[in-house]
Structure 1
Amino acid sequence: MVVVDQFSKACKLIPLKGSPTAMQTAEAMFQHVFRNFGLPEDIVSDRGSQFTSRMWMSLCEQFGINVSLSSGYHPQSNGQAEHLNQEIQRFLRSYCSREQQRWSEFLPWAK
């Protein structure tokens, strides 16, 4: 999962296996982002099922976080994260071509 602070442009890369559930996403956000940087005012995400679930929406509402979903047909509306995703994919393809199972070990170097 790629988390980008829209103000500072700082990023946090969180390795997750497969498509995480809303609960797994919430746990990762609390462990890697909220705990270290505090609760954000706004979260802009894609329309993945983990971000459109009632559980995620309810959790964000309880913490006073505004949730915005990017357009499904216009991923550029979340441009910083989309651009970063492309760069990370390029990096991992070059460094993990022989050891694809170890991609998460190389993730800190992509940052």
Structure 2
Amino acid sequence: MDVIGPIDLKASNGHRFILVAIDYFTKWIEAASYCNVTRVVLRFIEKELICRYVLPKGIITDNAKNLNNKMMDKLCEQFKINLRNSTPYRPKMNGKVEVANKNIKRIIEKMTTKYKDWHEILPFALHGYRMSVRTSTGAMPFSLVYGMEVVLPL
């Protein structure tokens, strides 16, 4: 799990951050944009990850304070989630999410005509990422999560 931001140009809705989580096996990503990340991390984990999918066995974050605090520790203890931090100044431990961040930023840059509208493009960027074959798995994240090939119109 990682945060992209603060993004220099605020979105038209005031958002400056993107909170990103990736499943290391399927490469499925969940992401959402926010004005302030600190207050929404727990809600993101509960609503976008736990309630939609299953309890993660572990969460790897960098050492950012917005992802490492007493409330996060309490949530992980409550749901028996192993919370680990990557080594400071060595983002390779959390490299999968760093690569996903780079790809999401690249997709948004290519799809955005007005940079202030990037928050509206984010769901489409996630869709594109999920429907692309990942070289590490040889499959689309969509196919691995749902157990079937995606049917796209021609």
Q: Which category describes the TM-score, using the shorter chain as reference length?
A: 0.7 to 0.9
> Unmatched 5+ residue regions in structure 1?
none
Which residue, 39, 48, 57 being the options, matches 2:55? 39
Which residue, 93, 100, 104 being the options, matches 2:115? 100
Which residue, 40, 43, 46 being the options, matches 1:27? 43
1:9 aligns with 2:27: yes
1:62 aligns with 2:78: yes
What's the CA shift for 1:94? 2.3
Which residue, 107, 119, 124 being the options, matches 1:109? 124
Question: For each residue in 1:18-53, what CA deviation from the matched residue of structure 2 results, as whole angstroms up to 9, or x when unmatched?
Answer: 4x11x4100112111111012111111111112211
* Deviation >4 Å, runs of 4+: none
Percent sequence identity is: 29
AA aligned opposite 1:89? K
Relative to the length of structure 2, the TM-score reads 0.65
Relative to the length of structure 1, the TM-score reads 0.88
Aligned residues: 108
CA contact (8 A) 1:51 1:57 kept: no
Q: Which has the higher contact order (CA 8 A, sep 6+)?
A: 1
Distance 2:71 2:51 in 1: 19
Distance 1:7 1:90 in 2: 22
Larger Rg: 2
Question: For each residue in 1:30-78, what CA deviation from the matched residue of structure 2 results, as whole angstroms up to 9, or x when unmatched?
Answer: 1111110121111111111122111111211121011001112111111
Distance 2:65 2:77 in 1: 17
> Unmatched 5+ residue regions in structure 2?
1-18, 127-154
